[in-house]
Structure 1
Amino acid sequence: MDTELLRTFLEVGKTRHFGRAAESLYLTQSAVSFRIRQLESQLGSPLFSRQRGNVHLTPAGERLLPYAESILQTWGRARQDVSLSENYMEQIALGASSSVWELSGISEWINASHQTLPEIAFRMESVSRQDIVRALLEKSIDLAILGDPPKVEGFKLKQVANFEFKLIATQPGISFRELAAIPLAYLDWSTRFSIEHARITELQRTPLLHASSSNVVVNFLSHNTGMAYLPEPVVSQHIDSGKLFLVDDAPVMEQSLYLCWNEDNEKIDSINQLASVPFELSTASDD
């Protein structure tokens, strides 16, 4: 399989236009069309419906999409692993959702991991929490940092941190009883968080903003009136600086962070060493 064919397929699928895909790939439109025909010939199925001004994936194209993404990601990682310099023994891929990467303390743990394992090259991957288990099973990542501990046979879990989600508002002095008049923003964090959030009657409304990034929610609240439950290791600096405000009488949600890995991994010795590096989330008030 020529990976350039898959790359072209993904670009056409993203742009829904052969001409724009050609511009992005620095190819002629005829070259893009030829590559797609080659791929369709190899697979024996049409991948795009080519109606004038309306290029869209066929059912076969939709089925190919996740495989193409996975193959290209694996190929890119393989190229990096094979080309590791003599200074590094191997590469460890770490996976987490965008919100987890934003927690204060993650970077410090990465730095400590490098000090502990200087012979290891690290690769950071942003993986949606819905895809973490599949990524560990397929070994496109070696170690996951996540808030929902998956119960999968052969997976090892280590709880590394506890922290709190607190209700934050853009105005000072707001009480829990006054929430009905304030727009809601929602951070898609974990299953446990969503269950606890759903138990709070005062918050049962359609969010004005639904996002998977803490920083996106914080930025939104910095420019608009609203409120949201956010992890303390992300939002504490904004509270300390007086940009956002704590709703003092609102319930506090306890959350945990875990390291998770597949024990059926040829890099298990390095993974176990990495899992033993001390892990500590921080807040601005801790500094």
Structure 2
Amino acid sequence: MDTELARTFLAVVTSGNFISAADRLHVSQSTVSMRIHSLEDQLGCMLFVRNKAGTALTSAGRQFQRHAATLVRTMEQARHDIGIPEGFSGTLVVGCRIGLWEEFLLQWLQLIGEARPEISIRAESGHEPELMQGLIEGRIDIGVMYTPQVRPGLKIEQLFEEHLILVSTDPEGKPEPRSGYVYVDWGPEFYARHNACFPNFGSPPLSVNIGWLGLQHVLENGGSGYFPRRIVMPHLKTRRLNQVSGAPEFSMPAYVVYPLEGDRDLFASAIEAMRQIVHSKPKRPPNAKRAETTARRCRGI
């Protein structure tokens, strides 16, 4: 169905008559009438009752109104998603966990912008289920996440190891969840390892599914929580946060996911820029391996 017919139908509904709809659409009244007749022929029913007062929706018209609105919105969204902005030769949609934008993909945005200035970038954030669905449907070109799912036609490549450490605003913080602890949902693997290391841990007073939110709460109100070392490093240097001595550290791989069929040249440039940032990062501190070993020993993991 031509979306212009659906748009004309909605204009008549909003305006209340064909004349006002024609003015709104900047076409003649006969054009509006012709479009509505064509739409009614395609649907096989009358959509409007015409009288001296204007037009009124029939029962079929009221049912079609919802579908017409969805059709127009879908087309507008598609035009927005796949349209190439003026001055660019292509677009790249990248979606990832919000925590991976911090101190990683924000740098990547600048690097890829310098390497491929002719490409327009659309940046999105979400959790693994939404990101994977976007990749499967083709709405997202490249996804960066912690726990991807294997799907036909998608390639998964590990970028780096994320290291979650327990930090606290208390310099004498204990190596286990205490009062003021914020539980951050870093995914099912973290949940299993966390439970293994802290079997007596009950329900936290505050749990969040976005690391940034948990970190801001700890900085503002005090407390502790597990966060990526790369993100809390500036706060460790200024002593706003302290790494809790003796607490287990958890390793969590970060992956890039992209379709096997696609713009290989563009994808290669984007992923190479990510690798450059990974390779430029400093090495792990000496006590990191020992802390991770402690985590593995928890409950035999």
TM-score (norm 2): 0.65
Q: In the TM superposition, what is the alpha-carbon distance from 1:255 to its structure 2 partner?
A: 1.6
Question: Of the candidates 258, 265, 268, which is equivalent to residue 272 of structure 1?
Answer: 268
Greater RCO, 1 or 2 (C-alpha within 8 Å, sep 6+)? 1
Query: Which residue identity is paired with 1:275?
Result: I
Contact in 1 for aligned 2:132/2:148 (Cα 8 Å): no
Query: Which residue identity is paired with 1:237?
Result: P
Q: Evaluate the alpha carbon distance shift between residue 190 and residue 282 of structure 1 in structure 2; reply closer, same or farther with a 3 A threshold.
A: farther
CA–CA separation in structure 2 for the residues paired with 1:124 and 1:190 = 22
CA–CA separation in structure 2 for the residues paired with 1:227 and 1:39 = 55
Contact in 2 for aligned 1:170/1:245 (Cα 8 Å): yes
CA–CA separation in structure 2 for the residues paired with 1:231 and 1:138 = 30
Question: Of the candidates 229, 232, 244, which is equivalent to residue 232 of structure 1?
Answer: 229
CA–CA separation in structure 2 for the residues paired with 1:164 and 1:188 = 15
Contact in 2 for aligned 1:154/1:264 (Cα 8 Å): yes
Q: Secondary structure at the match of 1:276?
A: helix
Query: Which residue identity is paired with 2:144?
Result: I
Q: Percent identity?
A: 19
Q: Secondary structure at the match of 2:129?
A: coil
Q: In the TM superposition, what is the alpha-carbon distance from 1:151 to its structure 2 partner?
A: 1.2
Query: Which residue identity is paired with 1:97?
Result: R
Question: Of the candidates 176, 187, 191, which is equivalent to residue 190 of structure 1?
Answer: 187
Query: Which residue identity is paired with 1:112?
Result: L
Q: Does 1:256 align with 2:253?
A: yes
Q: Does 1:95 align with 2:95?
A: yes
Q: Does 1:244 align with 2:241?
A: yes
Q: Secondary structure at the match of 2:148?
A: coil
Q: Does 1:78 align with 2:79?
A: yes
Rg larger in structure: 2
RMSD: 3.3
Query: What stretches of structure 1 of length at least 5 have no aligned partner?
Result: 7-33, 45-67
Q: 2:150 maps to which residue?
A: 151
CA–CA separation in structure 1 for the residues paired with 2:81 and 2:135 = 18
Q: In the TM superposition, what is the alpha-carbon distance from 1:93 to its structure 2 partner?
A: 0.3
Q: Which runs of 4+ in 1 moved over 3 A?
A: 37-40, 71-77
Q: Secondary structure at the match of 2:128?
A: coil
Q: Evaluate the alpha carbon distance shift between residue 197 and residue 180 of structure 1 in structure 2; reply closer, same or farther with a 3 A threshold.
A: closer
Q: In the TM superposition, what is the alpha-carbon distance from 1:78 to its structure 2 partner?
A: 2.8
Q: Evaluate the alpha carbon distance shift between residue 220 and residue 40 of structure 1 in structure 2; reply closer, same or farther with a 3 A threshold.
A: farther
Q: In the TM superposition, what is the alpha-carbon distance from 1:204 to its structure 2 partner?
A: 2.2
Q: In the TM superposition, what is the alpha-carbon distance from 1:229 to its structure 2 partner?
A: 0.7
CA–CA separation in structure 2 for the residues paired with 1:271 and 1:194 = 32
Q: Secondary structure at the match of 1:91?
A: strand
* Between structures 1 and 2, the one with greater helix share: 2
Contact in 2 for aligned 1:81/1:90 (Cα 8 Å): no
Q: 2:53 maps to which residue?
A: none
CA–CA separation in structure 2 for the residues paired with 1:271 and 1:135 = 16
The 5 Å alignment of 1:160-199 reads 160-176=159-175, 179=176, 181-199=178-196
CA–CA separation in structure 1 for the residues paired with 2:74 and 2:170 = 44
Query: Which residue identity is paired with 2:221?
Result: N
How many residues are paired up? 228
Q: Secondary structure at the match of 2:277?
A: coil
Q: Bigger shift: 167-176 or 228-237?
A: 167-176
Q: In the TM superposition, what is the alpha-carbon distance from 1:128 to its structure 2 partner?
A: 2.2
